[in-house]
Amino acid sequence: MSQNIVITTVAGAIRAGTPLLFASIGELLAERSGVLNLGVEGMMLIGAFTGFAVSYNTGNLWLAVVVAMVVAALLAALHAFMSVTLRANQVVSGLALVFLGSGLSGFWGQRYVGTQAPGFSNLSIPLLGKIPIIGEVLFDRDPLVYVGYILVPLVWWFLYKTRAGMNLRAVGEAPSAADARGINVSLTRYIYTIVGGAFAGLGGAYLSLAYTPMWVENMSAGRGWIAIVLVIFAIWDPLLAMVGAYLFGGISVLQFGLQVAQIPIPANIMKMFPYLFTIIVMLFTSGEKMKKRFGAPSALGIPYSREEKT
């Protein structure tokens, strides 16, 4: 009996954590380049909606995923244009995306409210899926969860081991140094802001195609904000972002578990935990020295210009 609770909680944590994982990896990439994109919530919503609509009308799930990513990436491109080319305030531009995303998805989604569309079903991985308990928890999930498993180590390797990843980190940490080495700061920021948007769209698509395959207005329900917080929690490290995503996913699942077990912790308090955790992490990582050690993007939110003095 108690074993079952553990299995459902862990399995639920992974399911609930996956959309957070995609969105925070996306934000992590954008922030590593020095662009703060607060519009994750909006990009997730537009991804969730377009994904759902394509699945509803064509039944093609993978096409739905791709469209969701492309549309969210377009929103991110708008943010990149505002913050890199126009050098506008990134906070304002990001917040604008939130309203744009929720407004558009709400408007276009009116006629879909409450309808269902084909969604991803679980796919047991041969051999691995047969392992008792572990197989059931980790390897009998929907395909997008597996995408998450593969994505994180890949992004980690990219960021720390490849030349392109090095360039990306340099642009976020010391843009003038990167510029002097012939790295195109603006182009880099465009690329990773847009790629980051695509991942936020993937996170949104996960919600409407796998988590609950139906359309509900504002169905991301604050996950975009948690994803942003997660990036800080993870000190801009993809592996830690994965840990954090599943942890925060677990907290949201625990809410139901506790209700079932009749342990009286109000849901509102539970929802606070991710933020609380993050503040605790920030207490330990916010020193100037710490930031340098972890390679936090110190140019985050600051437009770059060669001639400008800082």
Ligand X SMILES: Nc1ncnc2c1ncn2[C@@H]1O[C@H](COP(=O)(O)OP(=O)(O)OP(=O)(O)O)[C@@H](O)[C@H]1O
| Residues near ligand X, by CB under 6 A | 307, 309
Cα separation, 310 vs 302, in Å, equals: 10
4 binds another protein (CB under 8 A): no
Residue 121 backbone zone (phi > 0: left; psi -120 to 50: alpha; other: beta):
beta
Cα separation, 159 vs 85, in Å, equals: 25
Smallest gap from residue 181 Cβ to another protein (A): 3
Site for another protein in 254-273 (CB under 8 A): none
| 124 three-class SS | strand
Size of the site for another protein (CB under 8 A): 28
How far from chain centre, in Å, is Cα 196?
Answer: 8
Binding segment for another protein (CB under 8 A), chosen from 68-76, 115-123, 176-184, 260-268, is 176-184
| 142 three-class SS | coil
CB nearer to ligand X: pick between 298 and 305 = 305
163 binds another protein (CB under 8 A): yes
CB nearer to ligand X: pick between 175 and 238 = 175
Smallest gap from residue 306 Cβ to ligand X (A): 10
Nearest residue to 175 (alpha-carbon basis) of 188, 193, 161: 188
Cα separation, 131 vs 273, in Å, equals: 33
Options 11, 70, 104, 183; binder of another protein; rule CB under 8 A: 183
32 binds another protein (CB under 8 A): no
CB nearer to ligand X: pick between 288 and 307 = 307
CB nearer to another protein: pick between 13 and 299 = 299
Q: Tokens in use for 49?
A: 């909606």
130 binds another protein (CB under 8 A): no
DSSP H or E segment with residue 141: strand 140-141
CB nearer to ligand X: pick between 111 and 309 = 309
CB nearer to another protein: pick between 111 and 289 = 289
Burial 67-102 (b: 16+ CB within 10 A, else e): bbbebbbebbebbbebbbeeeeebeebbebbbebbb
Options 8, 9, 176, 255; binder of another protein; rule CB under 8 A: 176
Reported residue count of the chain is 310
Using CB under 8 A as the criterion, which residues of the chain lie in contact with another protein when the complex forms?
161-164, 166-167, 169-170, 173-174, 176-183, 289, 292-295, 298, 306-307, 309-310
